[in-house]
C-alpha cells in the first residue's frame, strides 16, 4: 500500500482529519489507497493560498506559465503507464482506456502550453486621432474546479490546464472515488515547478469540504458532474457573484436511418453505449432506428453486447470493466428493474455479472419501451442501450430531441444531405455522423445545449472565454 494520500495546499502535502478508503471496483476487498481527507479548515487554507499566489502568477509571462505546463506534460507522459494502471484500479475502466486517458491529459497540457504563445488581445481603431485603443484578455482570479470520477484525469486536465495557462490560480476538488489519480496529476504540476499556492488540491468528502470551498472567495466555479449537484452549486455560486460553468448529464441518441451501413452503425453504437461501462456523459443510451432496419440492427447490437468480454480492467483481454461504485451498480440495476416493470425486454444482458465480487453490469440492450419509461428519459450512466423504433426521418429527429438533455447525438446514414440536415435539426452541442456519440478531440469546443450545460464551452480556444475576461484600454 502506498503512503496515505494527502491534499496539496500552499505547495505542501497536508494530512487531514479523517481517513477514507479508495477501493478497487473490480475487487472491492482490495484497498488501492488510503486518504487522509481534508476538513473545512484545510479547504479554506487552499483558497487563502491561491489568493496569495494569484498576483505573482497573473504577472508571470504567459510563455513562462506555458513552460511549466509543458514540463508537467513531459513528466506525466513518462509516468503514463503507472498513472493509467492506478486510474484503472480505482475507477474501473480498462487499462488501455486509462492509459489513453492519461495521454489525453498530456496532450491537453501541451495544447494549452501552446496557447500561451497565442495573441491575448486585439487592437481597435479609435474614434479619436490621439487614442490607441486595445483590449486584452486577463485571468479572472481564483477558480474552483469540481470534477467527477468518470474521467478522473482528462476532465481535470481540460479545466486546470487552460485555467493555469491563462494566469488563474486553481483550487481543485476531485471526486472522492479517484483520489490517487488526482494525486498523480497534482504531482506532475508540483514536480514541474508550479509555484506554491497556484494549484491547491483538496481531497475530502464533498459534504465536508464542498460547502466550504463554494462559500470561499473565488471568482469562478467550473463544475462537471450530475445535474442535481450542478444546479445546486450554480445557485450558490451565482449568489456569491462567481462566474459559473456547468457540464452536466446527457441522454444521447444514436439515430440509425434505413440506408445506414448497419455493421458500422451497430459497432459504433456498441462502442458509444458500452465502453467505459457506459459511464460517459456522451455515452449513447437511446438507439432510434428506422423500422425497416430495426431487426437487423438489433441483431448486430446484441451480438456486440454478448460478445464483449467483461472482466478485470488490468486484464488485456477485457473490453468492459466494472461500474465505479456500489452506488452506481444499484442505480443501474434499479433502472433495469424499472424497464422490466414498464414492459421492456432485455435482448442482451439485463443485470449484474458476478465476477470477483466487483460492481459489474452486463452490457444490456433493451427493447419494447415507450418514451416515458425512466430508463429512456433519465441518464442511466451504465452500459445500457434502449432501442426505439422510428417511422421516418422526421419521427427519428423528434424522438432524438424528446429529452431535457442536449449533449451529444449521432446519426448513421449514407446520405450526406440527410446527415447535414440532422446536424442542423438535432439539439445537441456535439453531433457525430457515422461515429459513436462519445469520443472528443481536444482542440474544438465541447459542451451541450438545454439541461446538459450552462455557461461557456470547454476545450480548445473556447476555454478562454470562461477563464479570462476582457480589459479594454484607451491610451491617449
Q: Which conformational region is residue 447 in: left (phi greater than 0), alpha (psi within -120 to 50 degrees), or beta? A: left
Please give the residue whose beta carbon sits closest to ligand NAD in the complex: 210
Q: Within 10 Å of residue 341's Cβ, how many Cβ atoms?
A: 10
When binding is defined by CB under 6 A, the residue of 71, 89, 93, 173 that contacts ligand NAD is: 173
Active-site pick, 90, 101, 219, 281: 281
Residue with Cβ nearer ligand NAD (149 or 467): 149
What does the per-residue mask of binding to ligand NAD show for 101-140, with x meaning CB under 6 A? ----------------------------------------
Indicate which single residue of 152, 197, 200, 250 sits in contact with ligand NAD (rule: CB under 6 A): 250
Q: Does 281 bind ligand NAD (CB under 6 A)?
A: yes
Q: 171 and 144 in contact (C-beta within 8 Å)? A: yes
Minimum Å gap between C-beta 5 and ligand NAD is: 15
d(CA 369, CA 350): 14
C-alpha to C-alpha distance for 365 and 345, rounded to whole angstroms: 8
Quick check: helix, strand or coil at residue 104?
helix
The answer to whether residue 281 is catalytic is yes
Alpha carbon distances (Å) from 316 to 21, 80, 277, 309: 26, 17, 16, 10
Q: Single out the residue of 50, 175, 265, 288 in contact with ligand NAD (rule: CB under 6 A).
A: 175
Instruction: Report the alpha-carbon angle 466-470-471, nearest 5.
Output: 150
90 touching ligand NAD, by CB under 6 A: no
Known active-site residue 247? yes
Q: Which lies closer to ligand NAD via its Cβ, residue 331 or residue 461?
A: 331
From 129-137, 171-179, 342-350, 465-473, span contacting ligand NAD (CB under 6 A): 171-179
Of the candidate residues 8, 166, 185, 381, the single one contacting ligand NAD (CB under 6 A): 381
Q: Does 249 bind ligand NAD (CB under 6 A)?
A: yes
How far is Cα 436 from Cα 235, in angstroms, rounded to an integer?
Answer: 34
| 461 alpha-carbon distance from chain centroid | 18
CB 105 within 8 A of CB 189: no
Instruction: State the nearest-atom distance from the C-beta of 213 to ligand NAD, in Å.
Output: 7
Q: By CB under 6 A, which span of 2-10, 132-140, 206-214, 335-343 interacts with ligand NAD?
A: 206-214
Residue from the set 141, 148, 389, 460 that interacts with ligand NAD by CB under 6 A: 148
Binding mask 422-461 for ligand NAD (x = CB under 6 A): ------------------------------x---------
Output the nine-digit C-alpha cell for 314. Answer: 488490468
Q: How is 311-374 classified by DSSP, letter by letter?
A: --TTSTT-SB---SSHHHHHHHHHHHHHHHHTT-EEEE--SEE-STT--EE--EEEES--TTSH
CA–CA distance, 157 with 109 (Å, rounded to integer): 7
Question: What is the widest separation between alpha-carbon atoms in the chain?
Answer: 77
Kindly give the interhelix angle for 62-78 and 154-165, rounded to the nearest 10 degrees. Answer: 160
Nearest approach in angstroms of CB 118 to ligand NAD is 24
**Residue from 25, 210, 216, 321 binding ligand NAD (CB under 6 A):** 210
Q: Which is nearer to ligand NAD, 194 or 221 (CB)?
A: 221
Which residue among the candidates 91, 176, 247, 290 is catalytic per the annotation? 247
What cell was used for 429? 452541442
Of the ranges 75-83, 243-251, 256-264, 461-469, which one interacts with ligand NAD (CB under 6 A)? 243-251
The contact set with ligand NAD (CB under 6 A) reads 146-151, 173, 175-176, 206, 210-211, 214, 224-226, 229, 233, 247-250, 281, 379, 381, 407, 452
Amino acid at each position: 500500500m502506498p503512503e496515505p494520500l494527502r491534499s496539496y495546499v500552499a505547495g505542501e502535502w497536508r494530512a487531514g482529519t479523517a481517513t477514507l478508503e479508495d477501493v478497487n471496483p473490480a475487487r472491492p476487498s482490495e484497498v488501492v489507497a488510503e486518504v487522509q481527507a481534508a476538513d473545512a479548515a484545510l479547504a479554506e487554507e487552499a483558497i487563502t493560498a491561491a489568493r496569495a499566489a494569484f498576483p505573482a502568477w497573473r504577472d508571470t509571462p504567459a510563455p513562462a506559465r506555458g513552460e511549466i505546463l509543458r514540463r508537467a506534460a513531459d513528466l506525466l507522459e513518462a509516468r503514463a503507464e503507472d498513472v493509467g494502471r492506478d486510474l484503472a484500479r480505482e475507477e474501473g475502466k480498462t487499462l488501455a482506456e486509462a492509459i489513453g486517458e492519461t495521454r489525453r491529459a498530456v496532450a491537453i497540457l501541451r495544447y494549452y502550453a501552446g496557447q500561451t504563445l497565442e495573441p491575448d488581445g486585439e487592437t481597435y481603431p479609435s474614434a479619436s486621432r490621439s487614442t490607441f485603443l486595445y483590449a486584452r484578455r486577463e485571468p479572472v482570479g481564483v477558480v474552483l474546479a469540481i470534477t467527477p470520477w468518470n474521467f478522473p484525469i482528462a476532465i481535470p486536465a481540460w479545466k486546470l490546464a487552460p485555467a493555469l495557462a491563462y494566469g488563474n490560480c486553481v483550487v481543485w476538488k476531485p471526486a472522492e472515488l479517484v483520489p490517487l489519480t488526482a494525486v498523480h496529476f497534482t504531482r506532475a504540476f508540483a514536480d514541474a515547478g508550479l509555484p506554491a499556492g497556484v494549484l491547491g488540491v483538496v481531497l475530502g468528502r464533498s459534504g465536508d469540504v464542498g460547502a466550504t470551498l463554494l462559500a470561499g472567495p473565488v471568482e469562478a466555479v467550473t463544475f462537471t458532474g450530475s445535474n442535481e449537484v450542478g444546479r445546486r452549486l450554480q445557485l450558490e455560486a451565482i449568489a456569491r457573484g462567481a462566474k459559473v460553468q456547468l457540464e452536466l448529464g446527457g441522454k444521447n441518441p444514436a439515430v440509425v436511418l434505413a440506408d445506414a451501413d448497419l455493421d458500422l452503425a451497430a459497432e459504433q453504437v456498441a462502442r458509444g453505449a458500452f465502453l467505459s461501462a457506459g459511464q460517459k456523459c456522451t455515452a449513447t443510451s437511446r438507439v432510434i432506428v428506422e423500422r425497416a432496419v430495426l431487426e437487423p440492427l438489433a441483431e448486430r447490437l446484441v451480438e456486440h453486447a454478448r460478445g464483449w468480454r467483461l472482466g478485470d480492467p488490468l486484464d488485456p483481454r477485457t473490453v468492459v470493466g466494472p461500474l465505479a461504485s456500489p452506488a452506481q451498480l444499484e442505480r443501474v440495476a434499479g433502472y433495469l428493474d424499472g424497464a422490466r416493470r414498464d414492459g421492456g425486454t432485455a435482448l442482451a444482458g439485463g443485470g449484474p455479472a458476478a465476477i470477483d465480487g466487483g460492481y459489474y453490469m452486463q452490457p444490456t440492450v433493451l427493447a419494447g419501451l415507450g418514451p416515458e419509461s425512466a430508463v429512456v428519459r433519465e441518464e442511466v450512466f451504465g452500459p445500457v442501450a434502449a432501442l426505439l423504433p422510428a417511422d421516418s426521418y422526421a419521427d427519428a429527429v423528434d424522438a432524438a430531441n424528446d429529452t431535457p438533455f442536449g449533449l451529444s447525438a449521432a446519426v448513421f446514414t449514407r446520405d450526406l444531405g440527410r446527415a447535414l440536415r440532422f446536424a442542423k435539426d438535432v439539439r445537441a452541442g456535439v453531433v457525430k455522423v457515422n461515429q459513436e456519440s462519445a469520443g472528443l478531440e481536444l482542440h474544438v469546443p465541447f459542451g451541450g445545449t438545454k439541461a446538459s450545460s450552462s455557461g461557456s464551452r470547454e476545450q480548445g480556444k473556447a476555454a478562454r472565454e470562461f477563464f479570462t475576461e476582457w480589459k479594454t484600454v484607451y491610451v491617449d
